A and B are shown apart, each in its own frame.
Chain A
Amino acid sequence: MLINYLKIALKVLGRRKFFTFISLFGITLTLVVLMVAAAILDNAFAPQQPESRFDRVLGVYMISMRGPHWTSTSNPGFKFVDQYVKDLPGAEATSIFTGSSPMVVYHERRKIETHLRRTDGNYWRILDFKFLEGGPFTAEDDRNANFVAVITDDMRERFYGPNAKALGKTFTIDGQRFRVVGVVPAVPITRRAGFSEIWTPVRTIKGQYQQELIGNFSAIVLAHSKSDFPALRSVFAQRLANFKFDDPKNFNRVIAGLDTTFEATARNILGNTDDVNRPLVLRLIIVGVALLFITLPTVNLVSINLSRIMERASEIGVRKAFGASSRKLIGQFVMENVVLTAIGGAIAFVLATWILSVISRAQFVPYATFEVNFRIFGYGLLLAAFFGIVSGVYPAWRMSRMHPVNALRGGAQ
């Protein structure tokens, strides 16, 4: 029966070329946009190198201090992450690092724009960089403030030319001469903790930074497993309960959290308050936008399908007269729609792959390589099935309810 439904579906679609084109156009356009959006979100949030272990990593990326008159929100300072995040009981490892700051480097009389991040030794334990040359700098390098650096392959090319090796070579930033100890592949700018182009030890920072509660630092905590998250959060909350303000006259309340990457993004977008379930709100916003986007073409397809029913009233009457039950008719019509959306899904898959490769090549998002992986393919399938079933079920139900005599009358040729 299913094979027959499929055969009929293909025949109907083949014979009604204009309807098929209009429907496929709407389906494909919708699915392409959603698949591209899903690929971009996946690229930003799904664990992938060098953040492959981020399914068991929590981070503190934002801190707010409030008082009767002032509120200060920023990245945490070194003092905050060192005293309140570092060495949380139950954590496998903790890393402290600065944000990835834009820098201008003059190298061999060339001006090179780049990004620099200062990190500790643990950073290289938690993030799983694949080294193309050399290796990471160590905790000892950091303790001794050694002028060593890890750079990306892209920076290697910009510093030393194509196909050159970088190990042992040097470059100067802000009067400090660093020696390259490792080269890693470029990291997409969307990676909150992983992105930079040059990494050097924290203690090579010039000036005083150790006593700041608010600054340009972040910290990540590697848990033994995801199930340890609540315990780690609880310990962190206990530490915050005993928070010592530098300026208790102006500030008496501190807000910070151990966040997953998605939670951190929600905190960034929706603000650092502790009275809202930010991740849920952000998820609802994303799902809401996607639903809004999918609703219009779905309603359009439902409407096209309903008008098709009137065109095919005679066929419905005939099928009923010759023994089709309502259930079988619903099955047939939903199958037709699923076939249509499956074809649309397949075209959308090819188009989305092409568009993502164009976006990647154009480097609209620096170093990001967007692709349709199995996860995106899965989302695509899910979307296509949702689209096909939702836009097919209601018209199919209406069709099955059609009185056979009326159907035969409506279809008189």
Chain B
Amino acid sequence: MIRLENVNKVYRTERVETLALENINLDVAPGEFVSIMGPSGCGKSTLLNLIGLLDTPSSGALALDGAQVKTWGDKQLAQFRNEKLGFVFQSFHLVPDLKVIDNVEIPLLYRRTNGAPRRKVAESALDRVGLASRIHHFPTQLSGGQQQRVAIARAIVGKPRILLADEPTGNLDSGMGEEIMDILHDLNKNDGTTIVMVTHDDRFARRTDRIVRLFDGRQVA
């Protein structure tokens, strides 16, 4: 489902060149739940951004769902992200101006799904994360755990094949973290969604199929 071959990522400024990822080789099978661990600044989020097509490798090959993405333009990347990928961020990144239901509908807007079906699918995604009663609330009216559940509903509303979660429990207490992990496991087991999750928390990492460890941009396990 996800294949990285000899992937390097270098950040260049006028004076400094920083090697963020070095020679990463990674294969994630369809339906696999992989966690990425490592100390702060080791390149975990960079790796997730590359897989999520939010950033491009400096060298090496990246294939998603069997397709090489190197030559894709803005429109093609946007379409792939929309149809095949879902994102959950540590800081939720909900749009504060929009109600919960409108936040969840965002991915469907870029598929030109019509109003009524779009609303129905979004309501169903919110129902799945247990927030069907909060659809007309604004994000600021919800707790951190509830906001993250809205973010998960937004990530799964388009039924993506790959879900990328960047420290999804990082801003939550352990109880709420467990709840979020339960939802992710449910998606993985029952929908067959491939999940790649960056985490600092060993307890949550141990619940996944495989742990990839990074250190100073290198894959160490």
Verify A314–B93 contact, CB threshold 8 A: yes
Interface residues of A in 162-220 (CB under 8 A from B): none
Interface residues of A in 314-348 (CB under 8 A from B): 314-315, 317-328
B contact residues around A47 at 8 Å (CB): none
Verify B98–A11 contact, CB threshold 8 A: yes
B contact residues around A359 at 8 Å (CB): none
Contact mask for chain A residues 1-44; partner B; CB cutoff 8 A; 1 contact, 0 none: 10110001001100110000000000000000000000000000
A413 to B140, CA, bound (A): 11
The answer to whether residues A11 and B74 also contact, given A320-B54, A321-B81, A323-B81 and a CB cut-off of 8 A, is no
A411 to B49, CA, bound (A): 16
Verify B97–A325 contact, CB threshold 8 A: no
A358 to B58, CA, bound (A): 67
**Given A1, A3, A318, which contacts B93 in the complex, CB threshold below 8 Å?**
A318
Contact mask for chain B residues 42-65; partner A; CB cutoff 8 A; 1 contact, 0 none: 000000010010110000000000
Verify A408–B111 contact, CB threshold 8 A: no
- Among residues of A, the one whose C-beta sits closest to the C-beta of B139 is A413
> What is the count of residue pairs linking A and B with beta-carbon distances less than 8 angstroms?
77
Verify A322–B75 contact, CB threshold 8 A: no
A contact residues around B81 at 8 Å (CB): 320-323
Q: Which of B83-91, B127-135, B183-191 contacts A (4 or more CB under 8 A)?
A: B83-91
Instruction: Kindly state whether residue A404 has any CB partner on chain B within 8 Å.
Output: yes
A325 to B74, CA, bound (A): 6
Instruction: Kindly state whether residue A405 has any CB partner on chain B within 8 Å.
Output: yes
A199 to B121, CA, bound (A): 78
Q: How many residues of B contact A (CB 8 A)?
A: 32
**Given A323, A327, A413, which contacts B92 in the complex, CB threshold below 8 Å?**
A413
Instruction: Kindly state whether residue A412 has any CB partner on chain B within 8 Å.
Output: yes
B contact residues around A1 at 8 Å (CB): 109, 112
A326 to B78, CA, bound (A): 9
A contact residues around B154 at 8 Å (CB): 322
Verify B107–A405 contact, CB threshold 8 A: no
A10 to chain B, nearest CB (A): 10
A contact residues around B82 at 8 Å (CB): 322-323
Q: Which of B55, B79, B106, B115 has the most CB of A within 10 A?
A: B106
A322 to B81, CA, bound (A): 6
The answer to whether residues A317 and B75 also contact, given A322-B106, A323-B82, A323-B110 and a CB cut-off of 8 A, is no
- Among residues of B, the one whose C-beta sits closest to the C-beta of A324 is B110
A366 to B85, CA, bound (A): 70
Q: Which of B78, B87, B92, B154 has the most CB of A within 10 A?
A: B78
Interface of A is mostly: helix
Q: Which of A16, A323, A324, A405 has the most CB of B within 10 A?
A: A323
Verify A318–B106 contact, CB threshold 8 A: yes
A contact residues around B79 at 8 Å (CB): 323, 325
Instruction: Kindly state whether residue B29 has any CB partner on chain A within 8 Å.
Output: no
A404 to chain B, nearest CB (A): 4
Verify B93–A405 contact, CB threshold 8 A: no
A310 to B194, CA, bound (A): 33
B contact residues around A314 at 8 Å (CB): 93, 95
Given contacts A1-B112, A322-B154, A325-B78, 17 further A-B contacts (CB under 8 A): A3-B115, A314-B95, A315-B95, A318-B94, A319-B110, A321-B81, A322-B81, A322-B158, A323-B78, A323-B111, A325-B79, A326-B74, A326-B78, A328-B110, A403-B55, A404-B55, A413-B92
Closest 6 pairs between A and B when the two form their complex, measured CB to CB? A323-B82, A323-B110, A325-B78, A322-B107, A404-B54, A15-B97
Interfacial residues, chain B to chain A (CB-CB below 8 A): 49, 52, 54-55, 74-75, 78-79, 81-83, 85, 87, 89, 91-98, 102, 106-107, 109-112, 115, 154, 158
A-B contact pairs, 15 of them (CB 8 A): A8-B97, A315-B97, A318-B93, A319-B106, A320-B81, A321-B85, A322-B107, A322-B158, A324-B78, A325-B74, A325-B79, A327-B74, A404-B54, A404-B55, A413-B93
